[in-house]
Structure 1
Amino acid sequence: MPALKKTVLTVLSAALLSVSVVSPAGAADKDKTDDKQPKPTGPMSTVGGKRLGQEGTQVELGPGAPVLPKDLSARSWIVADAENGQVLAAHNAHWRLPPASTLKMLFADTVLPALQPKSLTHMVTEDELAGIGEGSSLVGVKEDNTYTVHDLWLGVFLRSGNDAVHVLSEMYGGVPATVAAMQRHAEELQALDTRVVSPDGYDAPNQVSSAYDLTLFARSGMQKADFREYAATATAKFPGAKKGKKRETFEIQNTNRLITGDIGVDPYKGIAGVKNGYTTHAGNTFTGIAERDGTVLLVTVMNPSSEESHAVYKEAAGLLDWGFAASGKVTPVGELVPPKSAVTGTAKGSEPAAGADKADRKKQAATATHAAAAGGGGIWTALSVAGGVLLLLAAGAFLVNRRWPLPDLVRRLPRR
């Protein structure tokens, strides 16, 4: 064979091999169990890119990139760079599924800026605890007892307390007003797969979100200092019921097992939040954020079918490991879009609580502006709060304190 022809054939073979390596299937044969997995029943959104609206796994591996973890069983998942918004890989990213308590990220991102200061106290009434779904996760809020906003948010983030959610919703203007505000905020974030029916994520007809949307909520929320604080807290003291003049506290622990660990699950190095969830209809859901060597990744996993204990955390940890190893070695398959206001230049912000007077609205706007400015200062991690602890990992305490490169992602608020 002539040397030139042999060289050409060699180059063509290498090129064909390269094409196969970066195929959408992801450099490895699909797991045979893929055919047994449930699939989206209708077309998916293409917000963030056409590839994200396609069924199945989407990834473009480059030279030196590791293959995706084996035995991923989640119906939907996504791995994205939290700062530049690049989606490194995804699987049915826009499949509309029940979100369970991961929807509390949207609740917090919507309501938290309006309920300030954190020291604000509130006496809980019996009516405020009515309507909580049967079997809901609770932190232990009791009627005729006073709590600070700070206490209640710890109950939301650490114990996923639907009782705390309902009290905060009433403080915001009522559950219907809160649901409406959450829906408006989801649309502002371009989270168009999301339909909000209950503020706590409890199973409700037609209440859905997607791995893509949940990731948008986490990204937006992590730009708020208070949100970051609560999401990263491992343990805290929560007020108990008042007995006479004495009121004791009890310890609550974050149910995010990548923060606190559990049997079979180690705390994840570099983890900084954000939220887990479970209902019988939704299965297990989880969104997490972590940092290593200057890279900050977001991962969302929805409803693994694996019967392995803590599968949602193990699959999330595996995807984070992959993402850190693959960063810079893959071609993005999409992006996390910015809020509408960052695109159009219109000023949209968190809705003030229903029924607030003009003075209250000015105060809420100023507070939300301060929170947004603080959030623009960077992704924050693991500060201790009252009764909480500084999360220590195998490599020691870690701190991520630098600016987000896209300041427009912080919602612009109107001057009042």
Structure 2
Amino acid sequence: MRSKKFNQYVAMLLSLILVASLWLPTQTVQAEENMKVNASAAILIDGETGQILFEQNPDQLLGIASMTKMMTEYLLLEAINEKKVTWDQQYTVSEYAYKISQDRSLSNVPLRLGETYNVRELYEAMTIYSANGAAIAIAEVVAGSETEFVKLMNKKAKELGLKDYKFVNASGLSNSDLKGMHPKSGTPEDENVLSARATAKLAFELLEDYPEVLETASIPKKSFREGTTDEIKMSNWNWMLPSLLFGYEGMTGLKTGTTDFAGSCFTGTAERDGRQLISVVMNAKDESGKSSPEARFVETKKLLDYGFDQFEQKEIFKKGYQVKGQEAVDVPKGKSKQVAVQTETPLVLNVKKGENTKYKPYIEYKSSVLNEENQLEAPVKKGEVVGFLSAIPEKGEPVKYLTAEEEKQANSPVVVKETVEKANWFVLSMRAIGSFFSGAWSGLVDMVTGWF
């Protein structure tokens, strides 16, 4: 994160304390139709399914500042998981990482030129304190250079299904702040940009694949190089962690960001009563229209309160549910001509409290398993997935998800209840003969009936 200069933060302390004194639980949360977030874009999703609970200008490309570091975290954790990098691996500080780290008008822990640091302490400095020099160091560890790392960032964004994105460096700083040493693939004017939807998708994938990131992101305070002459007290820029200035019940992460280009941004994660929410605010502003660090927390609180207070998780269709009229699927060449199908898991949605919306079940069959007549080819194994059940509101807006991928994953798999072996040639022959005579008899009956 690019922070304001330290003395500017000190000057703002009194106003922050005043705002924090008003940091009380809201008595009433606005309905969505009246909900307005003071930010250029915002989104709120269920952290388990990706269901969208609120969105405001979700698809416009905007600056993300140090929320960029979520991708840097992802790529490092992936490299650790794949054993390409280890936590105790040593890194020797490059001139680039050194020069950026010495700029204390930016968020940094100063690194000594030519000194060695292990990957874990660099990761903690980046994740807790948003240290920009440490982010560059991690990029060099993973890819050899930040230029190569940026290629990995954009490649991974595509793999993860982000729709609107452009990564130009590993830290989230404006390229113009990188002292002429920005990645060769970009220009001094380039900025990291994502949409609110893509930012939420990145956070969703990070938490799904590497939930351990929250173990570090939730640390409110820690010392860098404790016990040495280089020791620096790090305070997490996420002031909504429970013990910090804007403490919020259940807050667990995730990443702030501030630059002149992006304004004040924040991707927040919070858990209450087994529910996890992910919120994103971009270029948050106070009531006077001014971008400020505290504004992002005020607007995030508004979003999270809305999600926790106005929604509840509700089981729409239970496990083992069978859709009326679609209780079975034909298996023409099976020992049994049909097999029963049912949902493998309950279908759960976030719904507005007090609303009694009725939902219609809809099964989308897998074309790779069923033919055009929605018939199965024997043999069929018990538990085989033949489709997915979704819930369609009879009235109002359809249920929204981050992407089609999350929507599919949130739906309940429809499976066959029992194994059906393929019928042998004799049984199939007898069925064919029976079908022939049945058809002939029906034709004869129709003909005689026609005489009268």
Band the TM-score falls in, shorter-chain normalisation: 0.5 to 0.7
SS in 2 for 1:252: strand
- 2:45 is matched with which residue: 74, 80, 92? 80
Cα offset, 1:337, TM superposition: 2.6
8 A Cα contact 2:264 2:285, kept in partner = no
In the other structure, the counterpart of 1:304 is 284
In the other structure, the counterpart of 1:316 is 300
CA distance 1:309–1:236, shift in 2 (3 Å):
closer
Could you tell me the TM-score, scaled by structure 1's length?
0.60
In the other structure, the counterpart of 1:337 is 403
- Aligned residue runs from structure 1 range 47-58, under 5 A: none
- Aligned residue runs from structure 1 range 10-409, under 5 A: 66-68=30-32, 72-115=37-80, 116-130=85-99, 135-172=105-142, 173-204=144-175, 205=190, 207-223=192-208, 224-239=210-225, 249-259=231-241, 263=245, 265=246, 267-306=247-286, 307=290, 310-327=294-311, 328-330=350-352, 334-337=400-403
Aligned-residue RMSD, C-alpha: 3.0
SS in 1 for 2:125: helix
Q: Show CA shifts across 1:154-207 (max 9, x none).
A: 111111111001111111221111101000111111212110111111124253
8 A Cα contact 1:215 1:299, kept in partner = yes
CA distance 1:122–1:130, shift in 2 (3 Å):
same
CA distance 1:281–1:124, shift in 2 (3 Å):
same
Could you tell me the TM-score, scaled by structure 2's length?
0.56
Structure whose CA Rg is larger? 2
Question: Following the alignment from structure 1 to structure 2, what is the Cα–Cα distance between the partners of residues 86 and 192?
Answer: 17
Q: Show CA shifts across 1:89-115 (max 9, x none).
A: 100011100110011101111233214
CA distance 1:127–1:309, shift in 2 (3 Å):
closer
SS in 1 for 2:197: helix
8 A Cα contact 2:42 2:196, kept in partner = yes
Q: Which ranges of structure 2 fall in alignment gaps of 5 or more residues? A: 1-27, 176-189, 312-349, 353-396, 412-452
CA distance 1:74–1:171, shift in 2 (3 Å):
same
Question: Following the alignment from structure 1 to structure 2, what is the Cα–Cα distance between the partners of residues 310 and 283?
Answer: 12
CA distance 1:225–1:71, shift in 2 (3 Å):
closer
Cα offset, 1:250, TM superposition: 3.1
SS in 2 for 1:325: helix
In the other structure, the counterpart of 1:17 is none
Amino acid at match of 1:162: N
Cα offset, 1:147, TM superposition: 1.3
Choose between structure 1 and 2: higher strand proportion.
2
Question: Following the alignment from structure 1 to structure 2, what is the Cα–Cα distance between the partners of residues 221 and 177?
Answer: 21
Question: Following the alignment from structure 2 to structure 1, what is the Cα–Cα distance between the partners of residues 218 and 244?
Answer: 16
8 A Cα contact 1:129 1:166, kept in partner = no
Amino acid at match of 2:200: T
8 A Cα contact 1:101 1:275, kept in partner = yes
Identity over aligned residues, as a percent?
A: 27
Cα offset, 1:141, TM superposition: 2.1
Cα offset, 1:256, TM superposition: 0.5
Cα offset, 1:228, TM superposition: 2.3
More relative contact order, 1 or 2 (CA 8 Å, 6+ apart): 1
SS in 2 for 1:142: coil
Cα offset, 1:248, TM superposition: 5.5
Q: Which ranges of structure 1 fall in alignment gaps of 5 or more residues? A: 1-63, 344-403, 407-416
Q: Show CA shifts across 1:348-377 (max 9, x none).
A: xxxxxxxxxxxxxxxxxxxxxxxxxxxxxx
SS in 2 for 1:200: coil
